[in-house]
Amino acid sequence: GAVVSQHPSWVICKSGTSVKIECRSLDFQATTMFWYRQFPKQSLMLMATSNEGSKATYEQGVEKDKFLINHASLTLSTLTVTSAHPEDSSFYICSASVIWTGVNTEAFFGQGTRLTVV
Amino acid sequence: GEDVEQSLFLSVREGDSSVINCTYTDSSSTYLYWYKQEPGAGLQLLTYIFSNMDMKQDQRLTVLLNKKDKHLSLRIADTQTGDSAIYFCAERGSSRDDKIIFGKGTRLHILP
């Protein structure tokens, strides 16, 4: 299957600093990328949907000024957590969607980034 | 809105079959997925089924779909200790922008 690489896999940062997480589709062009957040022992919650070259669409309750998403190319999307606070500590997972010929679409997931804000 | 429900815990003896159930509300769901998540790791796609199918088998995994009742199940035959994980049921439509909606996950515990 297609490979999605997410970097870094874990990061510890000080409160008030910003952290950037990268999501790359290695062997396909992803027209759409999704960013999810997972709290301990809970399901994945969609944060935002981004299409290459356009502004991300954020889910209700997600602060777009805090979670900056850039999807500059068909193989790269970035999520920047600005002015991080301990409550932002979580597991962040990206997903890239690819359209095969015709109708079918599939989504592939990165391995996730564990962010700890101290 | 769309919703996916699944039980939170399941305990199964090693060697027995595990059956994880899931219900969803979106009748326009096109793809239904089962993902496995081991501690601290990302999601691993186990299998998926198109909405026009009612069964899919892949080695020890069998997926059953009852589209009328919007019920999906995952059966793991001969459950092993390595199967211990959280299993997420998920659904999405066919548009490229359709987001994947996840259930809360079922934690599968293997008893010796």
CA-based angle A97:B23:B7, to the nearest 5? 105
Residues of B in contact with A112 (CB under 8 A): 41-43
* Phi, psi angle pair for B33, to nearest 5°: -120, 155
Position B97 scores a pLDDT of 62
- Whether residues A44 and B88 touch (CB distance < 8 A) is answered with yes
Considering Cα of B56, then B58, then B59, then B60, what sign does the dihedral take? negative
Residue B59 DSSP class: T
Mapped onto helix, strand or coil, the DSSP state of residue B71 is: strand
The whole-number average pLDDT for the span A37-63 is: 86
Residue B32, CA distances (Å) to A93, B6, B83 in order: 19, 13, 20
Determine how many CB atoms are found less than 10 A away from the CB of residue B21.
17
Q: What is the CA radius of gyration of chain B?
A: 13
Residues of B in contact with A1 (CB under 8 A): 45
The alpha carbon of residue A63 and the mean position of all alpha carbons in its chain are separated, in whole angstroms, by 14
Contact B105, B22 (CB under 8 A): no
pLDDT (tens digit, 9 = 90+) per residue, A72-115?
A: 888 999 999 999 999 999 999 998 877 655 444 567 888 889 99
Closest CA to B83 of B61, B55, B56: B61
- Whether residues A34 and B96 touch (CB distance < 8 A) is answered with no
pLDDT (tens digit, 9 = 90+) per residue, B23-51?
A: 998 878 788 999 998 876 777 888 888 88
Q: Mutate which of B96, B108, B109 to test chain A, going by most A C-beta atoms within 10 A? A: B96
Q: How far apart are CA B96 and CA B18, in angstroms?
A: 33
Q: Mutate which of B99, B104, B109 to test chain A, going by most A C-beta atoms within 10 A? A: B99
Please indicate if any CB of chain B lies within 8 Å of the CB of A32: yes
Residues of A in contact with B98 (CB under 8 A): 105
Task: Find the Cα–Cα–Cα–Cα dihedral A78, A91, B96, B71, rounded to 10°.
Answer: 180
pLDDT (tens digit, 9 = 90+) per residue, A21-48?
A: 999 999 888 878 899 998 776 778 889 9
In three state form, how does the secondary structure of A30-68 look? CCEEEEEEECCCCCEEEEEEEECCCCCEECCCCCCCCEE
Enumerate residue ranges in chain B where pLDDT < 70.
Answer: 1-2, 40, 94-98
Q: Which residue has the higher pLDDT, A7 or A30?
A: A7
* Core vs surface per residue B74-108: b (16+ CB within 10 A) or e: bbbeebeeebbbbbbbbbbbeeeebbbbbbbbbbb
Residue of chain A with shortest Cα separation from B48: A106
Position A103 scores a pLDDT of 46
